Amino acid sequence: MNAQERRKKILDKLNKSVKPVKGTELSKEFDVSRQVIVQDIALLRAKGEDILATPQGYIIPKAYKENKLTKKIVCKHEGYDEIEDELKTIIDLGGKVVDVIVEHPLYGEIKSSLEISSKLDLQEFMDNIIKTKAEPLSSLTEGIHIHTIEVGDEKNFKRIEKVLAEKKYLINGD
């Protein structure tokens, strides 16, 4: 199989998947290195394909999200324990953490896809933060950040808001 055929098959696989697909999974399937997959994804993006790189793998945003309500919340907290507690609260109450956004004074909006919707996703995310000794984006803004969350309905969103406010993670505009 040549590179063009491989990229077409990668795109087909991502289009059919409702969950992120890890680069290592793609590299094994197509018997190429992980770096070749990274290059293939970059070339597909350059051709206009909407492929997101998340901590759980590559995904193409889908219309299957149409039945979901997407809202933003503004939070403030610091430290790994509070990051984990905030994310766990959202997913335990039926939400999905789509991304994290910070408003940097020099660079403007910085956004990173998270796609955390399960305890396993959360554990992998927290393991990666600790293993790589990475600073969270919110460290650039004294702990203030925005999350896009996806929920089934307004009632569920309000429940998440209430619990985050009780934990003093939520910043209200009041």
Return the pLDDT at 78. Answer: 83
pTM metric for this prediction: 0.68
Residues of the chain with CATH 1.10.10.10: 3-59
Q: Coil, strand or helix: which one is 59? A: strand
Helix, strand, coil fractions of the chain, as percent rounded to 5: 50, 25, 25
Residue range 2-56, pLDDT digits in tens: 999 999 999 999 988 878 899 999 999 999 999 999 999 999 988 888 888 887 8
Distance of alpha carbon 47 from alpha carbon 18, whole angstroms = 22
* 68-166: CATH topology: Histidine-containing Protein; Chain: A; (3.30.1340)
Distance of alpha carbon 138 from alpha carbon 136, whole angstroms = 5
Q: Using the predicted structure, report yes or no on whether residue 127 has a pLDDT greater than 80.
A: yes
Residue range 73-85, pLDDT digits in tens: 999 988 889 999 9
Q: Which residue type, as a one-letter code, is found at position 87?
A: L
Percentage of the chain beyond pLDDT 70 is 95
Strands in 69-76's sheet, in edge-to-edge order, are 69-76, 144-151, 96-104, 108-116
Residue range 115-126, pLDDT digits in tens: 899 999 999 999
Q: Which residue type, as a one-letter code, is found at position 43?
A: L
Residues of the chain with CATH 3.30.1340.20: 68-166
Q: Coil, strand or helix: which one is 103? A: strand
Other Cβ atoms within 10 Å of 84 Cβ, number? 15
What CATH number does the domain located at 3-59 have?
1.10.10.10
- Position with higher pLDDT, 66 vs 78: 78
Average of per-residue pLDDT across 64-80? 80
Q: What DSSP designation does 63 have?
A: G
Q: What DSSP designation does 146 have?
A: E
Return the pLDDT at 67. Answer: 63
Sorting pLDDT into bands at 50, 70 and 90, what band is 63?
very low
What tokens were used for 70? 């997407």
- H or E element at residue 8: helix 3-16
